Structure 1
Amino acid sequence: MSKPVDVLIVGAGISGLSMAVHLQRACPDHRFAIAEARARAGGTWDLFRYPGVRSDSDMHTLGFGFAPWRGEKAIAAGADILAYLDEVIADQGLAPHIAYGTRVLAADWRASEALWHVTLADAAGERVERARFLYLAAGYYDYEEPYQADIPGLERFAGPVVHPQFWPPDLDWSGRRVVVIGSGATAVTLVPALAERAAHVTMLQRTPSWLVAQPSVDRLARALRRILPEKVAYRLTRWINTRLHVLVYNRARKRPDQVAALLTRRLKRALGAAYDPRHFRPPYPPWEQRLCLVPDGDLFRALREGRAAMATGAIAQVEADGVRLQDGTHIPADILVTATGLSLAIGGKIALSLDGAPVDWAKRWFYRNAMFSNVPNLAVVFGYLNASWTLRADMTADYITRVLTEMARRGADVAVPVRSDDAPEKAVDPTFGFSSGYLARAAPLMPRSEAELPWRLNMDYLADLADYRKRPVDDGVLRFGKAGQSPVEQGGELP
């Protein structure tokens, strides 16, 4: 067995790369490795290859704080995001640290050694490596098993049935009728992209989603780049965009009717005669689910031009040549795309245990958005649902490097948020007030959160930013100790 690494990062997507760069800068003496199950870096942006795949956050906030986004478009194509991540790997010298085709199967914390014994699998088979700290940056959804909605009669369909998570590279939809089942960001992205070559595309939704158009080019960012140094312009754009997004989100929560009226007016202007409230007026207020971004109004243009259409209703059954709704409407199709959502997976589906006892996430409490009650030397990245994923990834990486620095200063082997009061009645809604289906399905699996920090996975970026600045790492909750001290999984205090 090789010498333990100081930090094992699981995943070479946005979260893992952010942690690696923060480690190199803040903890240059720490040895780290990145285990990436896929054949290349990128995570989500390598997995999703469906037509039109793009960011649904602007790249000045989805980009890293330490690496300015130089692309012309702020709403960027998936291929451009992959190229950006490759550039970060090259510029930061991360390639030697990444082991591709290496899946983490299990990790067991050995208190006597203060080490994680991690089971990895690659082309050569399984092996066990050791790590002092485990950083889970594998995202929050299942890469292997997407959500498969119960669609009656789907097996009867005569043509291809495709899930966007596994888009066939050889699928030809030219001149064919396509029905995209779904109403979320993936469907909104797919429909205009498919409509460029298809005979016709129908977006079939059970209920509408709130849609908002936004230019793909950030004119303010472009103007700032002309008059300011690149890094200054990027930071200022990031600051402005983040706060504008928070302002819009908070207004939607406090004045939902006002925001709904504004969005409806914009939709009517963008769609003209194609506007129909049955298809564009959701039964829930704005930002109860994530707003669906329509860059440059591409979906609206496809609808106005008749290359695409909306259909709203419940499916009675799928037939060989299309889909029949419960109201009797038949939608003809040659190809079905089931853009029905994701399945959440906590901790990258890794079998975690403490001295052989399995960790039940649903009985643990989030601590400072990153760690878990009575689980030592472990952090996870769970991004914002109402803001860019990278804002959380950068923030979490910065915090954990401060934890590691404090451990080194103390000569500690262990850092663990200690909680002896289980108090399940203190737990708040695990869906964070959102009604998205994937969150509701995953609610029984989610770790617990209280109403207030630090025992919370928060969805308020500015409040988190203030908390990290004001609350010290050594806050009396996070305990530091040596190998072989107390059994932390029972909430016992470290001496």
Structure 2
Amino acid sequence: MTGTETLERPETADKVEHFDVIIVGAGISGIGSAYHLQEQCPDKSFLVLEKFDSFGGTWHMHKYPGVRSDSDLFTFGYRFKPWMSAPIATADEILKYMGEVIDDNDLAPHIRYSHKIEHAAWSSKDKKWTVDVVRLDTGEKRRFTTNFLWMCQGYYNQEQGYTPEWDGMDKYKGQIVHPQTWPEDLDYKGKKVVLIGSGATAATVVPAMADDTEHLTMVQRSPTYFFPGQNANELADLLRAVEVDPMIIHDIVRRVALFQQQEINRRSVEEPEIVKQELLEGVRAFVGPDFDMDKHLTPKYRPWQQRLAFVPDGDLFKCITDGKVSIETDTIECFTETGLKLSSGKEIEADIIITATGFNLSVLGNIPFEVDGKPVNWPETVTYRGMMFTGVPNLLWVFGYFRASWTLRVDLLGDYVCRLLKHMDEMGVKQVTPTIPDSLSDMKVGNWIQEEDFNPNYLVRSMHVMPKAGNHPDWQHTQDYWREKDEIPALDLDTEALVYS
């Protein structure tokens, strides 16, 4: 969308409801943000708009076998609610945890389900956002206004995953399935299955399906770094056994986990070859000395240039050594009527082909936004601290971490938004707009993330739709939780980067 187009607003009902804050999304970010707002700004009215028919976001929509976290729940869980189970959790366990947060804090009355935003417009004259919504369950049009939009809808297109176009896909007579849109009635028992992909989704789906298939072949263009480990936390288990208060356990174990993560992040940059060998040795302990590690399990990039995939209890590798799963590292020449043909010439038969090939990145839910009648073109904006954007007033996007748990930033930004709202009330102002100050008028502006630092395919192929970043810390998303945990609480709300009116 260009900056010269005009947006046609959808028809709406006559009734308009106003809230001080509207939170978009009832996933892990939205529920956490609602908690912080209610606790820290109890005088603010707020509403959570969710397009699905229940809370949970990712954990509600994903239905593929074995769906689980790839971050430990001591850091992926909220700082304010202890996690009481194993570090790596299933979707059902995470949904139960989130449901308890909603129930314990009486958040349910603030959530409207099946409400999809069709358009959002800011008026500097009225100092308000107007949000047009359609109810997906009834088709009814609704309109809301708000002083502040808190965007918590995630960062990928939830309707459609990413599947490359291969020659011959139309000739294939079997079933092609993307994990993001998994059919509830998919029968793979006794079937030959091929899964294309090598990331965290593949590491989850493969061991969950392996026992029921005739055979499962994982086809990967290149390997991923895997981090096998026991799905238990000995420190947490010990502290529970001696009946330490759960909140104290949560805080201690969380701090230890974050310290350990910080160390592996640091070492991945400072001593990548040593970390690489340590990771490979961890995998070799499961697959044995005769497995072709160089070909199938040794990535070409350095550790943490893409996300490390945790494999609890080595379940993926046990499937390989048991002979239930095999790996083919090659490119795909084409689909055939009965399966795949690889560039090496090898053909693989498959009744079902699963494309665990990633997702399509979505910027702020692909919602059409406008400011004072002009459409917002996100690549023309520059991000303030990876959360707000030049020229877009009273809006914050929760975008978490790649190298640490997403939810850590939910807590940090929850504190920040509440502090900002209180500051605006104290100043008697109604609008705050990120603006590059004159002192940085010559700042170099580039991509949201530098590829040499972090380069997963979903991000690289979508960089052109993302907001830009500058080469100054205020104007980039550093992705460094260990800096931000101290920097964000200390950010000066009267900085020249924020213009109030």
- TM bucket (normalised to shorter chain) is over 0.9
Q: Is the 8 A contact 2:412 2:489 kept in 1?
A: no
Alignment counterpart, residue 455 of structure 1, candidates 466, 475, 493: 475
Alignment of 1:269 with 2:285, yes or no, is yes
CA contact (8 A) 2:189 2:212 kept: yes
| Structure 2 residue 481 is matched with structure 1 residue 468 | no
* CA–CA separation in structure 2 for the residues paired with 1:33 and 1:438: 31
2:416 touches 2:489 (CA, 8 Å); kept in 1?
no
Q: CA deviation at 1:476?
A: 3.0
Q: Name which of 383, 391, 402 aligns with 2:408.
A: 391
Could you tell me whether the CA contact under 8 Å between 2:236 and 2:249 is conserved in 1? Answer: yes
1: distance between equivalents of 2:358 and 2:382?
A: 26
Instruction: Give the equivalent residue in structure 1 for 2:299.
Output: 282
Residue aligning to 1:200: 215
* Structure 1 CA distance for aligned equivalents of residues 255 and 443 of structure 2: 37
C-alpha displacement of 1:184: 1.0
Per-residue deviation, residues 3-50 of structure 1 (Å, max 9, x unmatched): 420000100001101110001111000000000000000000011110
Q: State yes or no: 1:436 paired with 2:442.
A: no
Q: Give, as a single letter, the amino acid of the residue that structure 2 aligns with 1:109.
A: W
Are the aligned partners of 1:268 and 1:275 in contact in 2 as well (CA < 8 Å)? no
Relative to structure 1, the CA distance from residue 329 to residue 414 in structure 2 (aligned partners, 3 Å threshold; closer, same or farther) is same
Q: Take 2:337 and 2:442, find their aligned partners in 1: how far apart are those partners?
A: 49
* Partner residue in 1 for 2:122: 109
Aligned amino acid, residue 452 of structure 1: H
Report which stretch shifted further, 457-466 or 38-47.
457-466
Aligned to 2:465: 445
- Aligned residue number for residue 77 of structure 1: 90
Aligned residue number for residue 317 of structure 2? 300
Amino acid in structure 2 at the alignment position of 1:335? I
- For the 8 Å contact 1:267–1:275, the answer to whether it is kept is no
**Aligned-pair CA distance for 1:398:** 1.2
- Please tell me whether residue 347 in structure 1 is matched to residue 364 in structure 2: yes
The 3-state SS of whatever aligns with 1:9 is strand
Counterpart Cα distance in 2 of 1:267 and 1:476: 50
Aligned to 1:484: none
Is 1:234 aligned to residue 250 of structure 2?
A: yes
How many angstroms apart in 1 are the aligned matches of 2:283 and 2:217? 18
Q: In structure 2, how many angstroms separate the alpha carbons of the residues matched to 1:476 and 1:289?
A: 35
2:448–2:477 CA contact under 8 A, matched in 1? no
- What is the alpha-carbon distance in structure 1 between the residues aligned to residue 490 and residue 125 of structure 2? 34
Of 86, 101, 116, the match for 1:88: 101
- Three-state SS of the structure 2 residue aligned to 1:143 is strand
* 1:436-474 Cα deviation digits (max 9, x unpaired): 110111111111112332111121001111112332222
Please give the residue correspondences for 1:27-426 in structure 2 after superposition, counting only pairs within 5 Å: 27-71=41-85, 73-122=86-135, 123-227=138-242, 228-272=244-288, 273-419=290-436, 426=444
How far the C-alpha of 1:131 sits from its partner, in A, is 0.6
CA deviation profile, 1:354-377 (whole Å, cap 9, x unmatched): 011011111111112311112110
Corresponding letter in the other structure for 2:272: P
Deviation at 1:224, TM superposition (A): 2.3
Alpha-carbon offset, residue 128 of structure 1: 1.9
- Counterpart residue identity of residue 158, structure 2: Y
Partner AA of 1:250 in structure 2:
R
Q: What does the per-residue CA deviation read over 1:390-429, in whole Å, with 9 as the maximum and x for residues that have no partner? A: 0011111111111011111122111222225696861244
CA contact (8 A) 1:76 1:216 kept: no
Question: What secondary structure sits across from 1:225 in the alignment?
Answer: helix
Secondary structure of 2:170's aligned partner: helix
Q: Report the alpha carbon displacement of residue 261 of structure 1 after superposing the two structures with TM.
A: 1.4
What is the Cα deviation at residue 113 of structure 1? 0.4
Secondary structure, in 3 states, of the residue corresponding to 2:144? strand
3-state SS, counterpart of residue 191 of structure 1: helix
Name the SS for the 1:306 alignment partner. Answer: coil
Any conservation in 1 of the 2:48–2:111 contact (CA below 8 Å)? yes
> Could you tell me which amino acid in structure 2 is paired with residue 465 of structure 1?
K
- Matches of 2:209 and 2:96, distance apart in 1: 23
Identity %: 38
Please tell me the residue identity of whatever aligns with 1:59. L
Provide TM-score, normalisation by structure 2.
0.93
Query: Aligned to 2:286, what secondary structure does the other structure show?
Result: helix
Deviation sequence 1:273-315 (CA, Å, 0-9, x none)? 3343111111111111111111110000000000001101011
Amino acid at match of 1:442: S
Distance 1:453 1:446 in 2: 18
CA–CA separation in structure 2 for the residues paired with 1:297 and 1:386: 21
Checking the alignment, whether the CA contact within 8 Å between 1:342 and 1:438 is kept in structure 2 is: yes
Q: Distance in 2 between matches of 1:479 and 1:177?
A: 60
Single out whichever of 133-142 and 258-267 deviates more from structure 2: 258-267
Instruction: Give structure 1 stretches of 5+ with no counterpart.
Output: 482-495
SS at match of 1:303: helix
Q: Match of 2:262, as an amino acid? A: V
Aligned-partner SS, 1:24:
helix
User: Aligned partners of 2:84, 2:101: CA distance in 1, in Å?
Assistant: 12
**DSSP-derived class of the 2:340 partner:** strand
Deviates more, 1:171-180 or 1:472-481: 472-481
Does the 8 Å CA contact 2:17/2:143 hold for their aligned counterparts? no
Q: Which moved more, 1:224-233 or 1:441-450?
A: 224-233
The separation in 2 between residues aligned to 1:235 and 1:452, in whole angstroms, is 32
Cα deviation for residue 114 of structure 1 reads 0.2
Give 2:445's aligned residue.
427
Stretches of structure 2 that go unaligned for 5 or more consecutive residues are 1-14
Whole-angstrom distance in 1 between the partners of 2:415 and 2:480: 17
Structure 1 Cα separation of the partners of residues 323 and 262 of structure 2: 35
User: Residue 454 of structure 1: SS of its match in structure 2?
Assistant: helix
Counterparts of 1:292 and 1:82, CA distance in 2: 21
Is this contact kept in 2: 1:106–1:119, CA < 8 A? Answer: yes
Q: Which residue of 1 aligns with 2:10?
A: none
Q: 1:326-364: per-residue Cα shift (whole Å, max 9, x none)?
A: 111111111100111011001111111101101111111
1:240 offset after TM fit, Å? Answer: 1.0
